[in-house]
């Protein structure tokens, strides 16, 4: 058995001083004091917080965007995840146009199996909706996929409004949840063309082509589609105050709307697109970084409990060779950025350390919230007897500086270069196995598929 002693156990309802025993991949005891027996391993958590392992509900690993493949695959991405304290991620298996959902699921299992340092589940991104695909849904649920994604932007991925409504209606009786990339794709295409017609080809044109209205209008439309279908909707990577206002209005209107935001929208802003040379390409992601006022509005929404989960949208491309594909044209820059390793540290330092967000809220947003939303609770997302032994021991005094030179992510930059961190994971257990210590992997590849 592993006995975690002297820590403060964190849950969304409060902190408790207790010891924890892990055995056979499960939490087997939680008591004020657990006496280790001979053969037990003791992990001292004095001065530390003990969290249910963090869950990242939005990652893109080993993803081919049609032109290039993400820099992180499941080996490097999950290794980086555990080093930051994340013990489970939910990656987006993505249907090929003309392909089936079961083919996509099989492909993603192949990418992840035997290589993953943390646990993994899959959302299924539906890009080609038709009756045959609809008929596949029950089989997907039987294989543990209960959450889905649709895109309202990107020509190669998007579905139209009628299809969205039909997907929502089909998922409703099955109890599935649909996460949606909310940007009006037609407007994005038109605004991108407008920027190019004006001779604007640099990364600075990226946010101009995807203004807040493009996100807010899509959120508004999605919420009405949810209302029509009588189904819940999940807005992924919320980035604007305007979009937040739409979510508030829809909730008032009786629609069940879940909201995810990401560390980049809570800490970085659009001024980065004006960085010298081509540096702004590092921040070309969709939706783009926003104004400082948006950042403040989202931080307040996080603190006030209006956001359900903070995920990364980790979608890493190297600056050299990959982001550079768009040197002459910002629309050719592969969209996305890295963050899988640094989410807990960035959110803890910038929001918990600063006093804006309570530890309980931090636990809800990074562990319990995604576990509940994605059907993993109470197996995950809580420290309870019988739950999986996924545990993150957090040293609130530990300091480091984020730098690409020392990161585990297999990418040549980080958007958080130079960010001074206070608070990092002392030890991370995946299924009761020690996967990382103070940001370094132990080499144990203990992740398994989470069938939901
Ligand atoms: O720019 C981003 N976010 N790329 C990843 C795909 C997506 O839109 O979630
Ligand atoms: Zn998206
Ligand atoms: Zn994404």
- Strands (E) in 196-288, as ranges, are 233-235, 257-261
419: which residues sit within 8 A by CB, 6+ positions away?
267, 342, 346, 349, 401, 402
Report CA(15)–ligand 1 centroid distance (Å).
Answer: 35
Question: Among 285, 289, 415, which is best to mutate for testing ligand 1, by the most ligand atoms less than 8 A from CB?
Answer: 285
181 Cβ closer than 6 Å to some ligand 1 atom: yes
Residues 6+ apart with CB under 8 A from 137: 101, 170, 171, 174, 176
Q: With beta carbons less than 8 A apart as the criterion, state whether 22 and 53 touch.
A: no
Nearest CA to ligand 1 atom 8: 286
What is the DSSP annotation of 5-34?
Answer: EEEEEEETTEEEEEEEEEETTEEEEEES--
Q: Which ligand is nearest to the CA of 59?
A: 3
**153: Cβ below 6 Å to ligand 1?**
no
Q: Which atom of ligand 1 is nearest to the CA of 286?
A: 1
Query: How far is 262 from 250, CA to CA, in rounded Å?
Result: 21
- 68 CA → ligand 1 middle, Å: 14
Query: In what helix (H) or strand (E) does residue 98 lie, and over which residues does it extend?
Result: none
Rounded to an integer, what distance in angstroms lies between the CA atom of residue 128 and that of residue 223?
Answer: 21
At residue 152, the 3 state secondary structure works out as coil
Q: How far apart are CA 203 and CA 184, in angstroms?
A: 20
Q: Which residues are close to ligand 2, an ion, with C-beta < 5 A?
A: 181
The pLDDT of residue 283 is 98
Ligand 1 binding pocket includes 314 (Cβ within 6 Å): no
Q: Which two tokens stand for residue 422?
A: 């206070």
pLDDT at 112 (0 to 100):
98
**Ligand 1: nearest atom to the Cα of 335:** 1
* Atom in ligand 1 nearest the alpha carbon of residue 153: 8
In terms of Cα–Cα distance, which of 305, 266, 250, 313 is closest to 123? 313
Q: Over the stretch 202-241, which tens digit does the pLDDT of each residue have?
A: 999 999 999 999 999 999 999 999 999 999 999 999 999 9
Residue ranges of the chain with pLDDT lower than 70? none
Q: Which two tokens stand for residue 222?
A: 């999605």
Does the Cβ of 313 fall within 6 Å of ligand 1? Answer: yes
Kindly report the protein residue whose alpha carbon is nearest to atom 5 of ligand 1: 336
60 pocket-lining for ligand 1 (C-beta < 6 Å): yes
User: Looking at the whole model, is its pTM more than 0.85?
Assistant: yes
Backbone angles phi, psi at 49, to 5 degrees: -95, 140
Query: What's the gap in Å between 336 CA and the centre of ligand 2?
Result: 9
Q: Does 91 contact ligand 1 (Cβ within 6 A)? A: no
404-425, pLDDT tens digit by residue?
999 999 999 999 999 999 999 9
CB atoms within 10 A of CB 62: 20
Atom of ligand 1 nearest to the CA of 60: 5
CA of 21 to the centre of ligand 1 (A): 39
Mutate to test the pocket of ligand 1, among 313, 322, 337, 340 (most ligand atoms within 8 A of CB): 313
Rg of the chain in Å (alpha carbons): 21
Ligand 1 proximity of 336 Cβ (cutoff 6 Å): yes
The closest residue, in CA terms, to atom 7 on ligand 1 is 286
Measured from the CB, is residue 323 less than 6 Å from ligand 1? no
Structure tokens at 362: 């931090």
State which of 286, 316, 337 you would mutate to test the pocket of ligand 1, scoring each by most atoms of that ligand within 8 A of its C-beta: 286
What's the first-to-final CA gap in the chain, in angstroms? Answer: 27
> How far apart are the CA of 245 and the centre of ligand 3, in A?
22
CB atoms near residue 35 (< 10 Å)? 9
Centre a 10 Å sphere on the Cβ of residue 431 and count the other Cβ atoms it contains: 21
Count other Cβ atoms within 10 Å, centred on residue 216: 21
In this prediction, residue 338 carries a pLDDT of: 98
Please report which helix (H) or strand (E) contains residue 147, including its range: strand 147-151
Task: Return the residue whose CA atom lies nearest to atom 6 of ligand 1.
Answer: 336
pLDDT for the residue 235: 99
- Tokens describing residue 182: 């909310």
Token pair in block for residue 363: 């636990």
The CB of 285 under 6 Å from ligand 1? The reply is: yes
């Amino acid at each position: 058995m592993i006995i975690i002693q002297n820590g403060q156990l964190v849950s969304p309802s409060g902190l408790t001083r207790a010891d924890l025993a892990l055995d056979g991949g499960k939490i087997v005891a939680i008591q004020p004091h657990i006496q280790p027996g001979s053969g037990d391993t003791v992990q001292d958590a004095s001065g530390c917080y003990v969290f249910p392992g963090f869950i990242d509900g939005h990652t893109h690993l080993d993803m081919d965007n049609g032109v290039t493949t993400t820099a992180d695959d499941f080996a490097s991405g999950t290794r980086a995840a555990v080093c930051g304290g994340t013990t489970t991620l939910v990656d987006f298996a993505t249907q090929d146009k003309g392909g089936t959902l079961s083919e996509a699921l099989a492909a993603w299992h192949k990418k992840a199996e035997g290589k993953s340092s943390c646990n993994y589940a899959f959302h299924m991104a539906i890009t080609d909706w038709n009756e045959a695909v609809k008929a596949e849904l029950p089989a997907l649920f039987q294989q543990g996929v209960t959450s889905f994604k649709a895109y309202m932007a990107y020509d190669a991925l998007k579905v139209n409004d009628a299809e969205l409504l039909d997907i929502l209606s089909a998922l409703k009786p099955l109890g599935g949840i649909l996460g949606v990339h909310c940007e009006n794709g037609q407007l994005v295409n038109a605004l991108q063309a407008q920027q190019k017609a004006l001779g604007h080809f640099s990364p600075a044109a990226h946010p101009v082509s995807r203004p807040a209205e493009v996100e807010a209008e899509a959120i508004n439309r999605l919420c009405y589609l949810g209302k029509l279908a009588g189904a819940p909707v999940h807005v992924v990577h919320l980035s604007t105050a305007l979009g937040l206002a739409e979510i508030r209005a829809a909730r008032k209107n009786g629609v069940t709307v879940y909201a995810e935001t990401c560390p980049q929208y809570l800490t970085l802003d659009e001024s980065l697109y004006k960085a010298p040379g081509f540096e702004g390409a590092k921040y070309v992601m969709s939706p783009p970084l926003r104004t400082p006022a948006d950042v403040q509005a989202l931080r307040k929404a996080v603190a006030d409990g209006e956001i359900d989960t903070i995920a990364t949208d980790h979608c890493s491309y190297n600056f050299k060779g990959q982001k550079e594909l768009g040197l002459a044209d910002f629309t050719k820059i592969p969209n996305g950025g890295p963050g899988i390793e640094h989410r807990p540290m960035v959110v803890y330092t910038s929001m918990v350390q600063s006093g804006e967000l309570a530890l309980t809220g931090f636990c809800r947003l990074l562990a319990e919230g995604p576990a509940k939303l994605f059907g993993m609770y109470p197996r995950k997302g809580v420290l309870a007897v019988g739950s999986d032994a996924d545990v993150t021991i957090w040293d609130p005094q530990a300091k480091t500086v984020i730098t690409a030179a020392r990161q585990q992510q297999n990418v040549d930059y980080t958007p958080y270069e130079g960010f001074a961190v206070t608070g990092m994971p002392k030890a991370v257990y995946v299924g009761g196995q020690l996967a990382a210590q103070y940001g370094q992997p132990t080499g144990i590849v203990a992740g398994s598929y989470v069938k939901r």
